[in-house]
């Protein structure tokens, strides 16, 4: 295939932003009444009665959106801060080392934070999420040349907590308030939607703080993240106290072995989650090098909102597939979504050189991610006990972190793999996840029918 080198800085068509925004609005507005309409009414309709559940519904989504903004500020501007603190020097080996340390932290420590969440309560671990971001903010503000290895270590642990603790907290609270399972399904896609929108908001906020402000002042992304973290800590700490979830670690291990390790369905679900986690991680590490290959100049900051907008759009499709006239089983939906995601990554691995084609593929991939994330959360509610949810999610991410760590070593230090090979392997993992969904839907038929009647 011929190599095309762009002479101008490539930017996505502004019509794509308008299309995504209108599509999200139309998808939500015309959502099936027995599912999506109740979700929109519960959160945005102030005529609803001010019950304990409605108050928690709104306050949790607000808190989760702030947490996503904090996470976005710490993740999006990492390379910018590296160049700023070290006088514009961009050392690929040092950046690779930061990725390596972050992945190792997620594997060695983040894997067991879910167990800690189940034992102590997810609310306390959510406080740890804010404390980690606050500590990084203070650390970068005090030191002239902060250690980015230490910052990567803390931010990776915070990302691990975000992936399971807030969902676990929400599920536990909804269960305490005696709500139906449909309420959880509404919250799952709303969390994905809000998280994606908040990531876009964090980018705009960070850009606004950085423009014309190169000096280290209060107007900087990491200080803004620290302020939001303090506000969130105050809000969470002043709420009701949380009792330990399990009496002792021995009881937890016994319950985990009985309900998780002994259930083949959860093994298949865990592997599917690991494949999705791995493919998303590979995408965010390699998407920029893939687009700017061969020296092309691209406005990456303008592509990022397109990808998050696609994830928002994909999340709004969740109630369409699981209610109304096109209601289907979750496993059947993912049985088609995962191969599409795998096929997209396979095409990217083939190394298409046209930026427009890559953007379309990336857009479709993230639309599928927006649908897959709440679908996996729904399956967790069907198969995993609430008191074991955090541990199951965090432990299922361990295989993905192991493989990612191995690829970072082989690609970064030994140069035995190419980027396209890693992307192709991520695509193959998604095909294996589709196989797990095929096996999962057969033995779980009776369980699904019983759960669907709740």
Which single residue is written with the structure tokens 């009496």?
247
- Among the listed residues 257, 229, 272, 276, the one whose alpha carbon sits nearest the alpha carbon of residue 115: 257
Cβ atoms of 114 and 245 within 8 Å: the answer is no
Q: Residue 231 burial by CB count (10 A; 0-12/13-18/19+): exposed, middle or buried?
A: middle
pLDDT in tens, 404-418: 999 999 998 888 889
Q: What DSSP string runs through 361-404?
A: HHHHHHHHHHHHHHHHHHHHHHHS-GGGHHHHHHHHTHHHHHHH
Class of domain 31-43+51-452: mainly alpha
The mean-pLDDT minimum among 48-57, 209-218, 227-236, 266-275 falls in 209-218
| Mean pLDDT, range 282-291, rounded to an integer | 91
pLDDT at 361 over 60: yes
pLDDT in tens, 31-45: 765 444 444 454 445
Cβ atoms of 167 and 117 within 8 Å: the answer is no
The mean pLDDT of the chain is 84
Cβ atoms of 300 and 292 within 8 Å: the answer is yes
| Mean pLDDT, range 140-153, rounded to an integer | 80
Any idea where the domains of the chain sit in the sequence? 31-43+51-452
The whole-model pTM stands at 0.90
Pick the residue with more confidence: 85 or 148?
148
The Cα 91–Cα 103 span in angstroms is 19
Task: Write the CA distances from 333 to 266, 371, 433, integer angstroms.
Answer: 18, 9, 12
The Cα 366–Cα 27 span in angstroms is 16
pLDDT at 107 over 90: yes
- Among the listed residues 85, 88, 204, 193, the one whose alpha carbon sits nearest the alpha carbon of residue 141: 85
328's CB contacts (< 8 A; 6+ apart) are 321, 322
The Cα 230–Cα 318 span in angstroms is 33
Which single residue is written with the structure tokens 């298409």?
352
The Cα 71–Cα 229 span in angstroms is 10
Cβ atoms of 67 and 129 within 8 Å: the answer is yes
Cβ atoms of 262 and 384 within 8 Å: the answer is no
Task: Write the CA distances from 353 to 141, 348, 357, integer angstroms.
Answer: 41, 9, 8
| Mean pLDDT, range 164-169, rounded to an integer | 94
For residue 177, the tally of other CB atoms under 10 A from its CB is 14
DSSP-derived secondary structure letter, 10: B
The Cα 6–Cα 297 span in angstroms is 7
For residue 24, the tally of other CB atoms under 10 A from its CB is 20
pLDDT at 6 over 50: no
Six token digits for residue 23: 């599509």
pLDDT in tens, 16-30: 999 999 999 998 888
| Mean pLDDT, range 182-202, rounded to an integer | 92
Six token digits for residue 100: 């390596």
The Cα 285–Cα 316 span in angstroms is 26
């Amino acid at each position: 295939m011929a190599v095309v080198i762009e002479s101008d800085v490539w930017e996505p068509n502004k019509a794509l932003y308008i299309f995504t925004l209108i599509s999200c609005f139309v998808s939500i507005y015309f959502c099936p009444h027995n599912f999506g309409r109740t979700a929109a009414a519960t959160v945005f309709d102030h005529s609803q009665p001010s019950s304990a559940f409605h108050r928690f519904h709104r306050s949790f989504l607000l808190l989760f959106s702030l947490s996503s903004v904090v996470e976005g500020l710490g993740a999006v501007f990492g390379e910018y801060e590296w160049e700023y603190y070290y006088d514009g020097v961009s050392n690929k080996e040092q950046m690779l080392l930061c990725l390596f340390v972050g992945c190792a932290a997620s594997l060695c420590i983040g894997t067991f934070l879910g167990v800690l969440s189940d034992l102590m309560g997810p609310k306390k671990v959510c406080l740890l999420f804010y404390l980690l971001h606050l500590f990084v903010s203070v650390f970068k503000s005090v030191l002239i040349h902060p250690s980015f290895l230490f910052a990567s270590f803390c931010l990776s642990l915070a990302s691990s907590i975000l992936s399971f603790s807030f969902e676990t907290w929400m599920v536990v609270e909804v269960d305490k308030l005696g709500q139906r399972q449909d309420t959880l399904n509404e919250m799952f896609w709303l969390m994905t939607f809000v998280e994606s929108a908040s990531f876009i908001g964090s980018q705009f906020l960070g850009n606004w703080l950085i423009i014309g402000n190169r000096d280290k002042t209060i107007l900087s992304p990491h200080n803004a993240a620290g302020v939001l973290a303090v506000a969130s800590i105050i809000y969470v700490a002043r709420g009701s106290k949380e009792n330990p979830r399990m009496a002792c670690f021995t009881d937890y291990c016994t319950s985990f072995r009985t309900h998780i390790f002994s259930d083949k369905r959860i093994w298949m679900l865990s592997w599917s989650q690991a494949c999705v986690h791995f493919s998303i991680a590979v995408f965010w590490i390699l998407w920029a090098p893939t687009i700017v290959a061969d020296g092309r100049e691209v406005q990456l900051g303008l592509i990022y909102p397109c990808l998050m907008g696609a994830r928002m759009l994909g999340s709004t499709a969740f109630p369409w597939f699981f209610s109304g006239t096109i209601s289907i089983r979750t496993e059947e939906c993912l049985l088609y979504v995962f191969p599409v995601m795998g096929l997209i990554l396979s095409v990217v691995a083939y190394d298409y050189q046209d930026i427009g084609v890559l953007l379309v593929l990336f857009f479709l991939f993230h639309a599928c991610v927006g649908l897959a994330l709440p679908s996996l959360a729904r399956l967790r509610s069907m198969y995993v006990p609430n008191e074991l949810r955090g541990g199951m999610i965090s432990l299922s991410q361990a295989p993905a972190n192991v493989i990612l760590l191995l690829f970072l070593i082989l690609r970064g230090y030994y140069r035995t793999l190419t980027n396209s090979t890693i992307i192709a392997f991520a695509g193959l993992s998604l095909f294996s996840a589709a196989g797990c969904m095929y096996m999962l839907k057969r033995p779980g038929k009776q369980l699904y029918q019983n759960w669907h009647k709740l």
